[in-house]
Structure 1
Amino acid sequence: MTTDGLVLVVGSGIRAYREYLLASAAQRRPVWLLDAVEPTWQHDYAQGATVVELLDPKRLLPDQDLLVKTAVDLAAEHRIEGVFTYDETLVVTTAHIAEALGLRGLGVSGAEHCRNKQYTRERLTAAGILQPRFSYVTTDADARAAADEFGYPVVFKPRGMGASIGVVFVGGPGEVADAFAMSDLSSHGGNPLYQGGVLVEEYLTGPEISVDGATFDGEYRPFFVGRKRLGPEPYFEEVGHVVSADDPLLTDPGLVDMLAAAHRALGIRDGVTHTEVKLTDRGPAIVEVNGRLGGDLIPYLGRLATGIDPAHVAVDIATGVRPTLEPTLRRSVGIRFSYPEHDGRVLGVTLPAARPGLLEAAAMVQPGAELRLPPEGYLSRYAYVICAADTAEGCEAALDAASAGTAVTLEAL
């Protein structure tokens, strides 16, 4: 038996969106990777890797028994000090691993209460926490009845998808049948435990934010607030985010107290979460709570804006160390994703020239890639820009200017 003090990372994710997290985790503690494919770029960061099915190839179910057994076998050969994931589909499985090894984590029930949006709604309703009125339905007739009761507009969404996949704005009764069919169909692209049926939710008005927070020994604290920019209705794709180190919402008592109460209601013990919130005229209302760090490079923006490393926070909590959440930088950093105006096959991508405030610009597709806009496709981004400024307003202006310098050349599909 070795005594190398490893942290298990379950699933490495898509390189463009998650490499920075794996790299930072490896700086904090030695990392061993559980992944479905042989490592390539991951070799730069992992001490070792075990290739194992993360999802059952026949049923697309997380193969918890196999993954837990693999982790237990590894623990017989190495000293495992923590386990975490930043992959939405593996949150529950990772919680099972943590419990089997006696390690800190969200807890299986806490992970399930986050992963299944129906469970989230039920738990938060019982706790009296502000959120949309909702109903889980399995037919378009029941969807119509729920929508009529709540009053239009409403939102349809699957129970267990991420990245706003299958989330639809429904403006009136005539849109219900098509919206239900699209949202229900979208649910069949993920875990069968959450397939079929649709959550009908009251539409909340107001700006939307995201909050990455840490729970340690049951104590919740936010450390990044992201201000979102959403794409055109009827869909809810996120096309940009800005994180400011001095965002006043980080210390807003109403928001922070509500988030802490929500995490207690969901039974979250230890770990990082990404909570989406609408700032309504009735107060902050929870859209959803995800049992992992945010996507869309939001945690990366937070690191650039505040100096707080989100992977260090996740590793520290997983290994029983109270995380340091005090900023060492104070600026605003944002990202803007570029989408095509219509479906097409990529011939080439143009990026902006260097300019004040522009930190990064990158193409997200290669020539030959097919881009399809919702509802035929999702996350059809061809490029992104990241900008920094002293203020959020200055950051948005820099993002506008840099985005204007991006372009894509397409041929018809």
Structure 2
Amino acid sequence: MVGSGTQEYREYLLRSAALKADLWLLDETAPTWQSPHLAGSTQVVPSDVNALVAAARSVAERRAVRGVFCYDEALILPAAQVAEALGLPGPTVTAVRNCRDKHRTRALLRDAGLPQPKFALVADLAEAAAAAEWIGYPVVVKPRGLGASRGVALVRSAADLAGLFADARSAHYPGVPTYRAGILVEEYLEGPEISVDGAVHDGEYATMFLARKEVGLSPYFEETGHLVDAGDPLLNDPALRWILARTHRALRVDHAVTHTELRLTSRGFVVIEVNGRLGGDLIPYLGKLATGIDPGLVALDVALRTPPDLTPTHARAAGIRFLYPPEHCRVDRVTVPAPDEASGLLRATALAAPGDELRLPPLDYLQRYAYVLCAADTPEGCVGRLDEAEAQVALHARPLEHVTDARRAS
């Protein structure tokens, strides 16, 4: 197992996988909360691929290693390199790079004849301005190789381009490499956003669950919520099934779990990006609550080249809502309601501690102070419960004074 993520967002996956296999963690720090789920661990810097492969070989000399398990965006490429070096199942290094490099993704999907926005890869502001004029405003600027919508912004006019381009160019994601020509300028597509978690086994793609996405903090695309409905009619849409299968073939993903983001536009479904791992933001946990499909077990089966079980055991809706401060602030305290299964509130978690400083985009991203997670029999009922739960969360904070964006000033 390469990396483990954070306990709040990923332990449920680790717990499920440990029910079916002995897991040996390769990570930079010694395990703490992970320990009950592990057979053992080795401390190694995962981004040092040579050291990581050597550590994996050392484990393989002592134990029978059957696969590589990873759900961390920053580590899926090193994990694929370990699998290739040891001759184990998993996505190829090429497939992972096809997903991680958003320009490569766009080019491969375009060449396969799949619907794509107009796009251009640019290295500086002058190239970005020329690309935006060719595409036509509004456009989206995004880093070529990051994640979690960091640095992604909607540019409505030429007057906004310089500042938002600077934001995209200076954004970073811990552990993820950047590219020399690192910014994409793309046509903005109107339409609701969805994400689909799925599994590819021996080249055959199958859907696990679908989430409806909410975004906020315009012109940025911070993800503020997700809703999974086991009965979502889009799950049976032949056009969606077709584009998902064709997309994975075009990217040469024949053995992996993936998280695909799409927009439903006037032209039909358009793929925004494909991530070579399970979704973040507890989306797979919502899927498990809504359908009974266990994403941790599915990911483990795929890692072991075992046909995954994608059979739903029940049908309901589950959703999560992330709460952001209205301005840059220093947190005094966050109060949340107690979970109450009878009312459908399954989790209410403070994400910011007293003294934390929260800075909104473009100064920082994912600066949430709390989330609430609810389930109900219907999506409408789930939204109502999320509204009620959000109203019970309180942020006590003071505005941060004299906050400037040094990146734009430089």
Matched position secondary structure for 2:381 = helix
Aligned alpha-carbon RMSD (Å): 1.3
Partner residue, 1:74: 59
Partner residue, 1:292: 277
| Contact 1:213/1:221 (<8 A) preserved | yes
Partner residue, 1:20: 12
* CA 51–215 in structure 1, closer or farther in 2 if over 3 Å, else same: same
Is 1:392–2:384 an aligned residue pair? no
Deviations 1:217-276 (A, max 9, x none): 000011110000111310001000001111121221101111100100101121100000
* CA 203–270 in structure 1, closer or farther in 2 if over 3 Å, else same: same
Please tell me the residue identity of whatever aligns with 2:344: G
| Contact 1:316/1:322 (<8 A) preserved | yes
Q: Which moved more, 1:232-241 or 1:178-187?
A: 178-187
Superposition TM-score, scaled by structure 1 size: 0.94
Partner residue, 1:204: 189
* CA 343–293 in structure 1, closer or farther in 2 if over 3 Å, else same: same
CA distance in 2, matches of 1:166, 1:295: 17
| Contact 1:334/1:395 (<8 A) preserved | yes
Pick aligned residue for 1:359 from 314, 339, 346: 346
The correspondence of residues 365-384 of structure 1 with structure 2, limited to 5 A, is: 365-384=352-371
Partner residue, 2:79: 94
Pick aligned residue for 1:412 from 387, 399, 406: 399
Pick aligned residue for 2:321 from 332, 336, 346: 336
Shift of 1:107: 0.8
| Contact 1:32/1:46 (<8 A) preserved | yes
Partner residue, 2:23: 31
| Contact 2:120/2:185 (<8 A) preserved | yes
CA distance in 2, matches of 1:137, 1:174: 18
CA distance in 2, matches of 1:226, 1:327: 15
Shift of 1:174: 0.6
The correspondence of residues 10-159 of structure 1 with structure 2, limited to 5 A, is: 10-55=2-47, 63-159=48-144
The correspondence of residues 156-171 of structure 1 with structure 2, limited to 5 A, is: 156-171=141-156
The correspondence of residues 207-286 of structure 1 with structure 2, limited to 5 A, is: 207-286=192-271
Matched position secondary structure for 1:302 = helix
CA distance in 1, matches of 2:219, 2:185: 14
Unaligned runs of 5+ in 1: 1-8, 56-62
CA distance in 2, matches of 1:141, 1:357: 52
CA distance in 2, matches of 1:227, 1:401: 19
| Contact 1:223/1:250 (<8 A) preserved | no
Shift of 1:194: 2.7
Is 1:401–2:393 an aligned residue pair? no
Matched position secondary structure for 1:82 = coil
* CA 250–92 in structure 1, closer or farther in 2 if over 3 Å, else same: same
CA distance in 2, matches of 1:357, 1:198: 42
Unaligned runs of 5+ in 2: 401-410
Shift of 1:189: 6.0
Total equivalences in the alignment: 398
Shift of 1:392: 1.1
Partner residue, 1:5: none
| Contact 2:146/2:178 (<8 A) preserved | no
Shift of 1:196: 5.1
Shift of 1:191: 3.3
Q: Which moved more, 1:259-268 or 1:388-397?
A: 388-397
Please tell me the residue identity of whatever aligns with 2:91: L
CA distance in 2, matches of 1:196, 1:335: 35
| Contact 1:185/1:196 (<8 A) preserved | no
Shift of 1:188: 7.8
Deviation beyond 2 Å, 4+ runs, structure 1:
187-197, 352-355
Matched position secondary structure for 1:41 = coil
Please tell me the residue identity of whatever aligns with 2:202: D
CA distance in 1, matches of 2:101, 2:367: 25
Shift of 1:377: 1.1
* CA 177–295 in structure 1, closer or farther in 2 if over 3 Å, else same: same
Shift of 1:412: 3.2
Please tell me the residue identity of whatever aligns with 2:260: T
CA distance in 1, matches of 2:328, 2:131: 34
Shift of 1:192: 3.6
| Contact 2:2/2:70 (<8 A) preserved | yes
Please tell me the residue identity of whatever aligns with 1:11: G
CA distance in 2, matches of 1:143, 1:344: 33
Superposition TM-score, scaled by structure 2 size: 0.95
| Contact 2:150/2:173 (<8 A) preserved | no
| Contact 1:160/1:187 (<8 A) preserved | no
Deviations 1:99-137 (A, max 9, x none): 122211111100110011111111111101112111000
